[in-house]
Structure 1
């Protein structure tokens, strides 16, 4: 039946499907998750007895108190939390924050910077030379981004509660990293109630792909835990152990305390660790770039109860 509908609608099939999913996401985010999960993994999500990390992330979305997620997922407000936890020196320098793109003080910004919304996911605008950017184009793009309710697309209601804004930060030097890469190296530390367990390293990021690899706490490479996809390409070589890994793990331990699971995303530039963000719903709970075995390993580390 679905094939017949596709043929009848032709090029309109995908837009109509996305519109329907958007409506479902607004009316019932949990229903949207159930539908998308079944489509993606070819089996129903086990809401009653979740097992792997994807099921448990989605269970936590709708069965736990996610009020703190909203604040700590906010890329602007989380800075206050990081400072209170004693890691102010790990914050990337902030140049400004604005509710509307029309209010951005372009003249006050330095030659180089990065700019992003506080409620987005991965959309970062990099400016290497302010004199070359089209301000009208950037303003229009940010206006569009601020109008989007990011939480509707993958059933993440906590994102929709974030008061949207735009922030500009220092552009960290990618040349001062352990390897040559086209982007910052993300050290995404999977952590469980104060216990870091694995590091997912992402680098050579482009608009269409990123190289990735899973490492344990002793920095052993585990390619057997990854599924290479057109976007998430399994790295063919092992990365050097970051100089500040011990510090990173201590930070991840502190920041993840009290949460069944959270990904603590950090950088290292010139041997110094920097805070990136806290991610409570990795890939929205649809991590399809890990093997079933690894998804189960992460799930077993996520201890949840009905009183979470």
Structure 2
């Protein structure tokens, strides 16, 4: 029965549900439990509550990958922004020709719309044009009902490609901030391959918990600039009861990645469930 309901939900039903009923139905499908919005306790429940009832202009602003740059620059300085190569309504051939050999293309109005270009010479411009136009035609609000993306102007941005000393994509550090304080640090390894993920407390003690991906088994040393990254995350999170601050800790600089209102859209719980509850206890509505 649940399989049939899932097919029905993703096929047609979701298009006719309110945001609240969408959240309730999908929550039950993915977490196999009811969503309690009257007395939310777990982290995932409280993220759903924030998504439905804490609809502030600030949350919408930081969801826009272009507008958030001004917000970040005003708080921690523009030196922490990944260099911007261009913003486009539509990428023209001359825009493509003017870009360097290596860069990143993103859509500003949602997640997952990203192309890492390591060697522009092997790409077909028409393919890139088609892909980026497909991004622009995607109403990301309708995809997952994250209201912050509703009616955002849709643009394409090009940024400098960050690479570490081994010419690899650097690890992604994600700081879970509650009332302006970092409580949990997530590190993603090999995000575009066999992805692994570790969770730490703010003192860099490895937590016996997981979030979606298995643990990275190799030893991980505390980065020299981690304490500075925590300061930056806490500065950026001051105006939120909860926000996740994503940073890249390069050897010479710390770069801002994004501010995430709703990790996993509130449908990806920490494991074990006790961790999901503990994280919920940290979030004051």
Please give the TM-score of this superposition, normalised by the length of structure 2. Answer: 0.93
Cα deviation for residue 184 of structure 1 reads: 2.3
Per the alignment, in what secondary structure is the counterpart of residue 198 of structure 1?
A: strand
Maintained 8 Å contact 1:54/1:287: yes
Q: Decide whether aligned partners of structure 1 residues 135 and 21 sit closer, same or farther in structure 2, where only a CA change above 3 A counts.
A: farther
Cα deviation for residue 124 of structure 1 reads: 2.0
- Who is 1:10 aligned against? none
In 1, Cα distance between the equivalents of 2:126 and 2:81? 29
In 1, Cα distance between the equivalents of 2:35 and 2:281? 16
Within the alignment, does 1:219 sit opposite 2:204 as a pair? yes
Which segments of 5 or more consecutive residues in structure 1 lack a partner in the other structure? Answer: 7-12
Maintained 8 Å contact 2:180/2:237: yes
Within the alignment, does 1:63 sit opposite 2:53 as a pair? yes
Cα deviation for residue 161 of structure 1 reads: 3.0
Maintained 8 Å contact 1:29/1:152: no
Maintained 8 Å contact 1:98/1:104: no
Task: Answer with 187-196 or 268-277: which moved more.
Answer: 268-277
Per the alignment, in what secondary structure is the counterpart of residue 55 of structure 1?
A: helix
Cα deviation for residue 302 of structure 1 reads: 0.7
Within the alignment, does 1:83 sit opposite 2:67 as a pair? no
The counterpart of 1:268, out of the listed 226, 238, 249, is 249
Runs of 4+ in 1 over 4 A off after TM superposition: none
Within the alignment, does 1:200 sit opposite 2:181 as a pair? no
Within the alignment, does 1:210 sit opposite 2:202 as a pair? no
Q: Decide whether aligned partners of structure 1 residues 135 and 47 sit closer, same or farther in structure 2, where only a CA change above 3 A counts.
A: same
Cα deviation for residue 106 of structure 1 reads: 1.1
Within the alignment, does 1:112 sit opposite 2:97 as a pair? no
Cα deviation for residue 200 of structure 1 reads: 0.5
Q: Decide whether aligned partners of structure 1 residues 20 and 86 sit closer, same or farther in structure 2, where only a CA change above 3 A counts.
A: same
- Who is 1:184 aligned against? 170
Maintained 8 Å contact 1:176/1:269: no
Q: 1:132-183 CA deviation, whole Å, 9 max, x = no partner?
A: 1111011111111111111223221111232111000001113369xxxx53
Maintained 8 Å contact 2:229/2:249: no
Within the alignment, does 1:20 sit opposite 2:20 as a pair? no
In 1, Cα distance between the equivalents of 2:2 and 2:197? 34
Maintained 8 Å contact 2:76/2:236: no
Q: 1:208-253 CA deviation, whole Å, 9 max, x = no partner?
A: x52100011111111x2115x5xx2221133221221111111111
Please give the TM-score of this superposition, normalised by the length of structure 1. Answer: 0.86
Q: Decide whether aligned partners of structure 1 residues 260 and 74 sit closer, same or farther in structure 2, where only a CA change above 3 A counts.
A: same
Which segments of 5 or more consecutive residues in structure 2 lack a partner in the other structure? Answer: none
Task: Answer with 273-282 or 101-110: which moved more.
Answer: 101-110
Cα deviation for residue 44 of structure 1 reads: 0.7
Q: Decide whether aligned partners of structure 1 residues 21 and 250 sit closer, same or farther in structure 2, where only a CA change above 3 A counts.
A: farther
Q: Decide whether aligned partners of structure 1 residues 59 and 303 sit closer, same or farther in structure 2, where only a CA change above 3 A counts.
A: same
Q: Decide whether aligned partners of structure 1 residues 52 and 103 sit closer, same or farther in structure 2, where only a CA change above 3 A counts.
A: farther
In 2, Cα distance between the equivalents of 1:271 and 1:53? 34
In 2, Cα distance between the equivalents of 1:241 and 1:104? 44
Within the alignment, does 1:303 sit opposite 2:278 as a pair? no
Maintained 8 Å contact 1:96/1:169: yes
Aligned residues: 285
Within the alignment, does 1:252 sit opposite 2:233 as a pair? yes
In 2, Cα distance between the equivalents of 1:128 and 1:277? 21
Maintained 8 Å contact 1:96/1:168: yes
